[in-house]
Amino acid sequence: MKIESRRAIVFGAFLIATVSYASAVVPFGKALEQRQIALTKESLVAALRNPDPEIRKLAAFKLLWEDHAFDTIPLVESALRVCSFSWEKEPLR
């Protein structure tokens, strides 16, 4: 299997696993706007390098889940590699 295919499968599984979590919180775009992050593709890609891991996660979800910007998978993969995922956190407001 090609590396790109494996990446797509991994991220697809990751995103599917977060559906119940994502539906319980504010839309990713709204949460990013509340943090003064523009919703353009360029701004979201830049947000993947933000020092705040929560902003990196939100940008990744927005790009892949809501915007279907699958060409950003390698960038999202790099950004999420350094994030920890604690689902016990209080939902975003």
Q: Domain of residue 33: give its range.
A: 3-81
DSSP the chain: --HHHHHHHHHHHHHHHTHHHHHTS--HHHHHHHTT---SHHHHHHHTT-S-HHHHHHHHHIIIIIS--GGGHHHHHHHHHT----TTSPPP-
Confidence of residue 88 (pLDDT cuts 50, 70, 90): very low
pLDDT of residue 48: 92
Residue with tokens 């016990």, as numbered in its chain:
88
Q: What is the pLDDT of residues 21-64, one digit of tens each?
A: 554 567 889 999 999 999 999 999 999 999 888 899 899 989 98
Q: Is residue 36 in some structural domain?
A: yes
Counting the structural domains of the chain, the total is 1
Q: Is residue 92 in some structural domain?
A: no
Tokens, residue 80: 């999420």
